[in-house]
Amino acid sequence: MNQVIDRIHKIGTTKNKTNTPQTLQSTIEKQMGAFISMIIKNDLSIKKTLEISSNYGFSALHVCSATKDRPGAHHTIIDPIQTARGDRTYIQNLSEAGIAGFHLVEKRSEFALPELAQTQMGQFDFIFLDGWHTFDHSLLDCHYATRLLRVGGYLVVGDLSVPSVLHVVDFIKSWPCYNEQSSLSKPLSDSRNKQLSRLLLSSISRQTWEHFLAPRLCRHIFQGDALQMIALKKVCEDKRDWHWLNHRFP
Ligand SMILES: C[S@@+](CC[C@H](N)C(=O)[O-])C[C@H]1O[C@@H](n2cnc3c(N)ncnc32)[C@H](O)[C@@H]1O
């Protein structure tokens, strides 16, 4: 692993450009960073990467460290508050790690992504989404990310512990252009209510319940772990017609 990542993990803080330590907040955890690295390292064709958003540059460090030795590797970061926050910590961290192939688009994703889509449709090999977590924002990010990804590229979505983000992922997973490649989960405690619900529902299979209950509720009852991150592979162009999914809203 990169020494800067290693150090930040160990001490739990990062430094801004005036060398003031800052406690890491709203940033990916160690196993999530390892998940991102694993997806990128397993596919040598990944060079052109995009991320929404970067905060202290910690997720960017994982992406860029994994592609660092690949010729032509370049990382685009969309994050609206780097200058406003005044510290530009992400640059400090990336520079210290010896990474130069990146640039920041300092705008909100709802404005930056449509602009990117006008010139760079289908050009990214890997996109990591970890921006503003409302349902509508997450869906908008996924919509544009799907246009920006090439066929064979990966969409990784973080923070699935946030219900609105999980709802969006449950929806986009059903798009024919995506195959679930891999996911990261953490164990959940098994409450009495869950055990009782499982017992009551056990006469019928989980697959059958999935037709009647929301995916999130099914997962909550039947599954012993909670999804944290998911990697979807774009396997074909998104060719859904205007009436796609109308059967779900009769
Ligand atoms: C969860 S943090 C990202 C953490 C980062 N991926 C990491 O692991 O280090 C959320 C980020 O969303 C950014 N953000 C807030 N509103 C946004 C918007 N409208 N579009 C894009 N990013 C936004 C914030 O600047 C913040 O850096």
Residues 6+ apart with CB under 8 A from 237: 151, 177
245 found inside a domain: no
- Distance from residue 167's CA to the centre of ligand 1 (Å): 19
178 found inside a domain: yes
What is the number of structural domains in the chain? Answer: 1
Nearest atom, ligand 1, residue 131 CA: 12
| Residue range of the domain that includes 18 | 3-189+227-237
Nearest residue (CA) to ligand 1, atom 4: 27
Each residue's pLDDT tens digit, 145-189: 999 999 999 999 999 999 999 999 999 999 999 999 999 998 776
Tell me if 89 CB under 6 Å of ligand 1: no
Mutate to test the pocket of ligand 1, among 27, 37, 53 (most ligand atoms within 8 A of CB): 53
Each residue's pLDDT tens digit, 36-88: 999 999 999 999 999 998 888 889 999 999 999 999 999 999 999 877 666 66
- Distance from residue 44's CA to the centre of ligand 1 (Å): 27
Tell me if 80 CB under 6 Å of ligand 1: yes
What is this structure's pTM? 0.87
- Distance from residue 33's CA to the centre of ligand 1 (Å): 16
Tell me if 79 CB under 6 Å of ligand 1: yes
113 found inside a domain: yes
Mutate to test the pocket of ligand 1, among 79, 93, 104, 139 (most ligand atoms within 8 A of CB): 79
| Average pLDDT score over the chain | 87
Nearest atom, ligand 1, residue 58 CA: 9
CATH at 154:
3.40.50.150
Contact indicator for 60, 36 with CB cutoff of 8 Å: no
Tell me if 90 CB under 6 Å of ligand 1: no
Tell me if 58 CB under 6 Å of ligand 1: yes
216 found inside a domain: no
Question: Would you state the structure tokens that stand for residue 139, as one six-digit string?
Answer: 């869906």
247 found inside a domain: no
Q: Is the pLDDT of residue 217 over 90?
A: no
Question: Would you state the structure tokens that stand for residue 236, as one six-digit string?
Answer: 């074909």
204 found inside a domain: no
195 found inside a domain: no
95 found inside a domain: yes
The gap from C-alpha 65 to its chain's centroid, in whole angstroms, comes to 17
Grouping H, G, I as helix, E, B as strand and the rest as coil, residue 4 is helix
Across 18-32, 68-82, 130-144, 166-180, least confident range = 18-32
Tell me if 26 CB under 6 Å of ligand 1: yes
d(CA 167, CA 187): 20
DSSP state of 48: E
Tell me if 54 CB under 6 Å of ligand 1: yes
- Say how many residues make up the chain: 250
Placement of tokens 């396997």 in the chain: 235
d(CA 130, CA 133): 8
